[in-house]
Amino acid sequence: MNVFACVACGQVDFPRRLLCPSCGRDEFTEVAASTGGSVEEVTILHHRAGKAGGDIAYIATVLTHAGPRLIVRLDACLHREPSSRCVSKATALLLVSAINSHAS
């Protein structure tokens, strides 16, 4: 996965912005980022607009080690706590492939 660093201040963003949100400059360098990160939040979508039936989708907000947050779709949720939230460690394994396949 590649992220974009502002040449002037070093702010890292994904996807590329027109202007840096920190300093307002418009010059960026593309930087290879590690694919690791931590799950901040998982959402289970039981009902989706335009989608009839019982298809359940899982999405997660991931804070990458490079800095930017990504919203990724998970192929599955392996384990759930009683509160119906995915367990972070189980989900983290799925996120590596999700980040690689959806954000590149």
**pLDDT single digits (tens) 13-36:** 988 999 999 999 999 999 887 777
Q: Assess whether 2 and 26 both reside in one domain.
A: yes
Model confidence pLDDT, tens digit, residues 41-97? 888 887 777 767 667 788 888 888 888 888 888 876 655 544 444 544 334 444 444
Both tokens of 3, joined, read 């992220």
Q: Assess whether 89 and 44 both reside in one domain.
A: yes
**Cα(37)–Cα(88) distance, integer angstroms:** 11
Q: Assess whether 103 and 52 both reside in one domain.
A: yes
Parent domain of 62: 35-104
Q: Assess whether 82 and 99 both reside in one domain.
A: yes
pTM beyond 0.85: the answer is no
Q: Assess whether 52 and 89 both reside in one domain.
A: yes
Q: Assess whether 54 and 82 both reside in one domain.
A: yes
Please tell me the total number of residues recorded for the chain in this structure. Answer: 104
Q: Assess whether 49 and 79 both reside in one domain.
A: yes
Q: Assess whether 39 and 28 both reside in one domain.
A: no
* CB atoms inside a 10 Å sphere around CB 39: 21
Q: Assess whether 57 and 87 both reside in one domain.
A: yes
Domain count, the chain: 2
Q: 57: burial class by Cβ within 10 Å (0-12, 13-18, 19+)?
A: middle
Q: Assess whether 23 and 55 both reside in one domain.
A: no
Q: Assess whether 18 and 4 both reside in one domain.
A: yes
Of the candidates 87, 33, 81, the one whose C-alpha atom is nearest the C-alpha of residue 60 is 87
